[in-house]
Structure 1
C-alpha cells in the first residue's frame, strides 16, 4: 500500500436508462434493493466493473488456466521447446507461488497481466527449472500490473504477498426513485409447425423496468500510481481512462433485447485529499414527481448537488470539482467548474492531478 498522501477522485453520475434488465439474479429477475423503505432497481458493482474492464485495450487474464497461458507464451518465444517441456517448466514455476490441481489448473482464479505472463515465460526459459527462486517468481508476479489489475486489485490466498490492494471503490448503482417491477410475457412459434397445430413452442416471461440511477465510484490516485510501478504519469492517465469508461461503459445483460445503451445526463468529478464521500444519502428518500410532472433526472441532479454542498459542513473543500450536465449549463455545486464536454472535463482532471503530483514532489 502506498504511503504517499491521499488523492481521491470521486465520480458521481445520474443516468436514466429505458426498459432494461442489465443485471439479473439467479431467477432472471432484475436485481433490487430496498433503500429508505422503498424498493429500487439495483445494478451490482461487479456488473459495471466488468463492463468497464472489457473496454480497456490491455487487461489481465482472470483465469485458472495460468499454466496453459505460460506454456503458450514460452512456445511463442522459443520455437524449439516442446509442449511437454514448457508444461514442466510452467508447473514448477507457478508451484512456487500458487496451488495447482491434478489437471494443472490453479485452485482459484488468479489475475495475471500480459507483461507478468511474458516476464514469467522468459524467466522460465532462462534457467533450469531446478533453480527457480521463489523470491524471483514472486517479484515477477508483483510488478508490471495491467491497468485493470491495478484498479480492481488481486487476492491470492496461497501467497498474500501477491495481493494487490484495489485502487477503486465501486458502489452498487440504484434507482433514485421507487420502482414497480414490470413483466414481459412472450411466446415463440415454430415456423414449420403444421397448420392444424395450435399453441406456442416456447413460453416465458422476464422482468424489466425503466429507472434513473445514482452511480458512484472513487479512485485512490496515489494507490493506483503505487500499483503501476510508482509511475505517476501512468497513474494519472489510468485515472482519466477509468473516469471515461465509468461514463461510457454499460453492463450488457439483455442489451440485444432492450437496446438500452444510454449515456449519463450528469457527471461530477471531485478531487479530494481527505476522504472519499458517497452521496447516496441524497436518495434515502425516493425522488417523487407530483401530478402533471414527468421525469426523475432533473430532481435527482438537484438532490445530488444539494447533498454535495451539505457535506462541506463535515469534510474539507475538495481540491477541485468538475461538472458536466447535459440538462443545463448551470450548477449549484459550490466551487465547481462546468465542463463543455467529456474531453474537456477529463483534460481538467488530468491537469489538476498532474499539478498535485508535482506539488508533492516539490514538498518532498
Structure 2
C-alpha cells in the first residue's frame, strides 16, 4: 500500500503582497461565494525550493530549472581551454538533448537558449558536460534516443525534481511524476485586496515644489491562509532511485520550509516574514483528503486564529466519522496552545519515508 504524508498549515500574513497577478495585485479566489486572498501553488513551491532548508541542507541534491544549458556547457568548455568556436558546436550538440535551441542572433552565435525550460538534475548536468568533452575530443556520439539515454534519468538524486516532477515535451519517456502535491493557499475568512497610494519626494527639489516627485499605487492584503500539501512517500523514494534516507531528509526539509518559507513578492515594501502557527501532519495508507472544505463558510468568529484551528479540527472529526480515519498517525504543532514543535513535525514526516509506513 502507498504511504502518504499530509500537511495542513495555517499561517498569518500581515499587510503584504507576496504573490501578484498580472496587474500587480494580490492573487484572489472566490470560495464558497466569498472573496479570498490566494497564494498560487507555483509560488509556494518556488519559495520552498529557494528556502535555506533546500538551498543549504540539500545543496548537492537540487535540480536546475533553466533554458541555458547550452551557455553553461559552452562556458565550461572554454574555461577548460577549448576553442570558442568548437565549444559552441559541442555544447549545441549536447544541449539539444533537453529540447530545441532558439535561433541565435547572428552577431552573438555563442548565445543560444533552449525553447524549453528544462529541469536538470546534478547527475544529468555532469553527464552533459562529459559528453560535450567527448565531442571536443572527436568522439562520435549516438543519435537521438540513444544519446538521450546517456544523459537523461528517470530517477536520480535531485530532491526537488523528485518532489515536484518535470515535463520534457521532446523526451516524454523521462518525465517525472510529482511526488508532492501543493494546493493553492486561501484565506480562511473573507478577504479582499486593498490599495496603497504612495509618494516619493525629490531630495533636490524640496524648496521649489512642495508636491511629490513620484506617485504610485500598490495592492496589498492580509489574512490567515490555509495550505495543504500531500506527499506520496513511496513515489518520492522511487523518484530518488530507492534512497530512503534522502527521501526522509527531503520531507524534513519540506516540513520546515512549509512553516517559514513564503513567496517574496513586494517583500522589501511589506517585510512579510510570517511563521506558521498551526501545522497538522498525518501519515498513513488511506486515500488523502484536503481540508479546504472546512473554510467554504468563511470564518467569522473572533479570534480568527483560534476559530480557524477549531474549524480545521472539526472537519477532521466529521470526515473521519463518515469515512473512517484518513491516517494512521498524526502530530500537531499549535503555537498559541503551546503544544508541539517544528522539530516534532519534521521528524514525524521523515520517519514515514524512512520506514515506508
Which TM-score applies when normalising by structure 1? Answer: 0.87
SS at match of 2:26: coil
* 1:161-218 residue CA offsets vs partner (Å, 9 max, x unmatched): 1211111111111110012432211111111115232421111122222201111111
Q: Please say if 1:326 is aligned against 2:326.
A: no
What is the aligned partner in structure 1 of residue 90 from structure 2?
89
Structure 1 gap ranges (5+): 330-337, 358-364
Kept after mapping to 2: 8 A contact 1:14/1:215: yes
SS in 2 for 1:81: coil
SS in structure 1 of the partner of residue 24 of structure 2: coil
Q: Is the 8 A contact 1:73 1:117 kept in 2?
A: no
Extract unaligned runs of 5+ from structure 2.
105-111
What whole-Å deviation, never above 9, does each CA across 1:301-333 have from its counterpart, x for those lacking one?
A: 01001111222122544121111100115xxxx
Map 1:136-285 to 2 at 5 A. Answer: 136-142=147-153, 143-193=155-205, 195-285=207-297
1:319 to 1:73, Cα distance in 2 relative to 1, 3 A: farther
Q: Distance in 2 between matches of 1:15 and 1:198?
A: 42
2-structure distance, mates of 1:96, 1:262: 41
Structure 2 Cα separation of the partners of residues 96 and 113 of structure 1: 13
Please say if 1:300 is aligned against 2:300: no
- Could you tell me whether the CA contact under 8 Å between 1:93 and 1:129 is conserved in 2? no
Q: 1:107 aligns with which of 115, 129, 133?
A: 115
Q: Could you tell me whether the CA contact under 8 Å between 1:186 and 1:203 is conserved in 2? A: yes
Q: Which moved more, 1:164-173 or 1:187-196?
A: 187-196
Equivalent residue, structure 2, for 1:32: 28
Q: Secondary structure at the match of 1:219?
A: strand
- Alignment partner for residue 48 of structure 2, among 31, 46, 52? 52
Alignment CA distance shift 1:74-1:219 (3 Å): farther
Find 1:14's aligned residue among 10, 14, 20.
10
- C-alpha contact (below 8 Å) 1:66/1:105 kept by paired residues: yes
Q: 4+ residue stretches of structure 1 with deviation over 6 A?
A: none
Change (3 A) 1:259 1:94: closer
TM-score, normalised via structure 2 length: 0.88
2:276 alignment partner, SS class:
coil
Question: Matches of 1:175 and 1:96 in 2, distance apart?
Answer: 43
**CA 1:96–1:266 in structure 2 vs 1: closer, same or farther (change >3 Å)?**
closer
1:115–1:299 distance in 2 versus 1, CA, 3 Å = same
2:81 matches 1:72: no
What's the counterpart of residue 355 of structure 2?
355
Whole-Å separation in 2 of the counterparts to 1:139 and 1:217? 34
Deviation per residue, 1:221-244 (Å, 9 max, x gap): 111111112212211221221111
String of CA shifts for 1:76-100, please: whole Å, max 9, x gaps. Answer: 5xx2423332321221123345212
Q: Give, in whole Å, the separation in 2 of the partners of 1:259 and 1:210.
A: 13
What is the CA–CA distance in structure 1 between the aligned matches of 2:311 and 2:78, rounded to whole Å?
A: 58
Partner Cα separation in structure 2 for residue 196 and residue 355 of structure 1: 73
Pair 1:234–1:162, CA change in 2 (3 A): same
Question: Structure 1 residue 352: deviation in Å?
Answer: 4.1
Q: What is the aligned-residue RMSD (CA, Å)?
A: 2.0
Between 1:307-316 and 1:199-208, the stretch displaced more is 307-316
Question: Does structure 1 residue 42 correspond to structure 2 residue 38?
Answer: yes
Q: CA deviation at 1:276?
A: 1.8
Whole-angstrom distance in 1 between the partners of 2:96 and 2:23: 39
